[in-house]
Amino acid sequence: MESKASVRSSEVHRVVITGLGAVSAQGRDIETIWRACLSGCSGVGPITRFDVSAYPTRIAAEIKDWDASPWMDKKEIRRMDRFVQFAVAASQMALADSGLIVDDSNRDRIGVQIGSGIGGLATLEEQHQVLLDKGPGRVSPFLIPGMIPDMGSGFVSIMLGMRGPNSCVVSACATGGNNIGDAYHVIRRGAADAMMAGGTEAAITPLAMAGFCAARAMTTRNEEPEAASRPFDKDRDGFVMAEGSGMLMLESLQTARARGARIYAEIVGYGCTGDAFHVTAPAPEGEGAGRSMREGLRTAGLTPADVDYINAHGTSTSHNDRNETAAIKAALGTDAYRVAVSSTKSMTGHLNGAAGAVEAIFCALAMRDSILPPTINYTTPDPECDLDYVPNVARKANVNVALSNSFGFGGHNVTLVLKKFTA
């Protein structure tokens, strides 16, 4: 006779989103951030945490006056890098929003899948200076757990008592999407009933900013920060660094229904591909990104005709926006010109490893509220970027199927497919 566990693991489970949580430069909760996006309000401004006078880029979407004390005590705060604090705060919000109670009856079946593209760089920089100034004996014992990228997942598991599968995918700017997609598969195959999934990042640091400036990847539009991130616009000149975290409480439909949970949306597909082309540049014509979208639709059992909205990766860099536009055309064919596409990075900035999670949240909220967030700062059309980018003003629209795209250095491509929930 088969055990209950083996029977459960052989089933394929539907996966739904029951809770959302986020922190960003635009706010400390989901609804505040969402209202800012629908209003076209940018979170970008001058960097305040360190002297940037010698930097070509002196702006970012910085979370100013961050206070972690509502979500953790002072002792815990001292042990955590900023990126971990963001993860813990957003996860607590998502759990509370879901209404799921974690206790001894279910904690072994609830897991955590949270990634960070860069990890605790602030801790690393700080402690390296301690090493240089005071010697190895003064380096903090919390250096290693403060800097490694998996500590968002680790601390959330510990603090929320979630003892199911616990993992961390690091795939640069595709990190948030990858972690949600992998958590989706964990639930689908029956290895867990629920997963906290998402991404977190806090890389507005002297070294990270210097590195991205050296790569000439960021905007230098310092005098007009709110207009600096301009995806798909002909005058775009680079991305804007951002920080924050996005978390989704995922559950099997069976588990969510059993407790009468409110459901935001269903995840129905996950595309994940590699460019095998270049360490930083996307494959020509967005070949890998196009395959990711097609794979997402294939796994969802959907066609291009089903897609209503795409939350684009849309970084405001010349190569990304042009290649993503080509990828959308390759994946959707003539439907590419019908589907609404927007880049919320025009307002949030680029949250790197947290970007895909925050943007998946926006897709779920677009379904809930039947409204599309805009791409702001779109003033000069680029002939190579000729799709409907929902320019500057939010738009009422019924969204049944949405794609969330995330692409990362190293040739990582992720597409999450969300669908409005129906019984």
Task: Note the pLDDT tens digit of each residue in 333-387.
Answer: 999 999 999 999 999 999 999 999 999 999 999 999 999 999 999 999 999 999 9
In a domain, 8, yes or no: no
CB 183: neighbour CB atoms within 10 A? 28
Mark whether 30 and 108 lie in a shared domain.
yes
- Rounded to whole angstroms, the Cα distance separating 106 from 289 reads 38
Which among 168, 213, 272, 313 is annotated as catalytic?
Answer: 313
What digits encode the pLDDT tens for the residues 266-306? 999 999 999 899 988 888 888 999 999 999 999 999 999 99
Say if pTM beats, i.e. exceeds, 0.75: yes
Which of 227, 258, 289 is the C-terminal boundary of a domain? 258
- The pLDDT mean for the chain works out to 95
Mark whether 218 and 277 lie in a shared domain.
no
DSSP-derived letter for residue 295 is H
- Rounded to whole angstroms, the Cα distance separating 235 from 229 reads 10
Question: Are 114 and 196 in contact, with CB atoms under 8 Å apart?
Answer: yes
Q: What is the pLDDT of residue 282?
A: 82
Which among 37, 350, 385, 412 is annotated as catalytic?
Answer: 350
Would the pLDDT of 72 be above 80? yes
Domains identified in the chain, total number: 2
Would the pLDDT of 188 be above 60? yes
Catalytic site residue 272?
Answer: no
The CATH number that applies at residue 246 is: 3.40.47.10
Q: What is the pLDDT of residue 6?
A: 39
Q: What is the pLDDT of residue 11?
A: 73
Is residue 7 very low, low, confident or very high in pLDDT (cuts 50, 70, 90)?
Answer: very low
Q: What is the pLDDT of residue 279?
A: 84
In a domain, 225, yes or no: yes
Q: Select the more confidently predicted residue: 123 or 12.
A: 123
Mark whether 329 and 291 lie in a shared domain.
yes
In a domain, 9, yes or no: no
Mark whether 156 and 286 lie in a shared domain.
no
Mark whether 214 and 352 lie in a shared domain.
no
Catalytic site residue 350?
Answer: yes
In a domain, 1, yes or no: no
Mark whether 245 and 277 lie in a shared domain.
no
Mark whether 386 and 406 lie in a shared domain.
yes
381-384, long-range: CB < 8 A, 24+ apart: 381/233, 381/234, 382/232, 382/233, 382/234, 382/321, 382/322, 383/234, 384/322, 384/325
- Rounded to whole angstroms, the Cα distance separating 351 from 308 reads 24
Distance from chain centroid for Cα 160: 21
Mark whether 152 and 190 lie in a shared domain.
yes
Which of 208, 225, 258 is the C-terminal boundary of a domain? 258
Would the pLDDT of 3 be above 70? no
Contacts for 128 with CB less than 8 Å, ≥ 6 apart: none
Would the pLDDT of 92 be above 60? yes
Which of 224, 258, 292 is the C-terminal boundary of a domain? 258
Mark whether 209 and 293 lie in a shared domain.
no
In a domain, 383, yes or no: yes
Catalytic site residue 185?
Answer: no
Mark whether 143 and 236 lie in a shared domain.
yes
Can you give the residue range of the structural domain that contains 384? 269-419
Start-to-end Cα distance in the chain? 32
In a domain, 303, yes or no: yes
In a domain, 4, yes or no: no
In a domain, 264, yes or no: no
Q: Which two three-digit tokens encode residue 313?
A: 């990766």
Mark whether 248 and 388 lie in a shared domain.
no
Mark whether 273 and 145 lie in a shared domain.
no
- Rounded to whole angstroms, the Cα distance separating 288 from 285 reads 9
Which among 13, 37, 168, 173 is annotated as catalytic?
Answer: 173
Q: What is the pLDDT of residue 10?
A: 58
- Rounded to whole angstroms, the Cα distance separating 191 from 178 reads 17
